[in-house]
Amino acid sequence: MRLSATPRGVQFSVRAQPRASRDRIVGPHGEALKVAVSAPPEGGRANEAIVRLLAKTLGVRRSAVRMIGGRASREKLIEVEGLTPEQLRERITSITASAKGKAKG
C-alpha cells in the first residue's frame, strides 16, 4: 500500500466496496486499502460511510479525514490529517491483523 506524506498528514488510495454485508477495513488491495461499507453509492452515502469508518478505526476525528479525489469512482484518494505514514501503516496493520485473528477464532 502506497502512503504519501503531505504537509497536513498522509494521503493514500482506497478501493471502495459499497453494499457490503458490513462495514470493515478489508486490508491492502494492490497499492490501495480496500474498505467495505454497507451503504449504497447513491447520494454519496458510501463515501460518507468510508470517511466515518476510517476516522473511527484509525482513532482520529471525523474532520481529520477528507476524501480529496474519486468521489464517483471505486478508487478514492483520502487524506488523514495529523498522522505520519508510519503511524497510519501501524494502525492499518494492527486493524487488519486483529480482523484476521477474529476470523480464525
pLDDT tens track for 64-73: 999 999 999 9
The least confident of 28-37, 62-71, 93-102 is: 93-102
Q: Considering the domain 3-104 in this protein, what is its CATH number? A: 3.30.1200.10
- pTM of the predicted model as reported, rounded to 2 decimal places: 0.90
What's the pLDDT score for residue 104? 53
Pairwise CA distance, residues 34 & 41, whole Å? 15
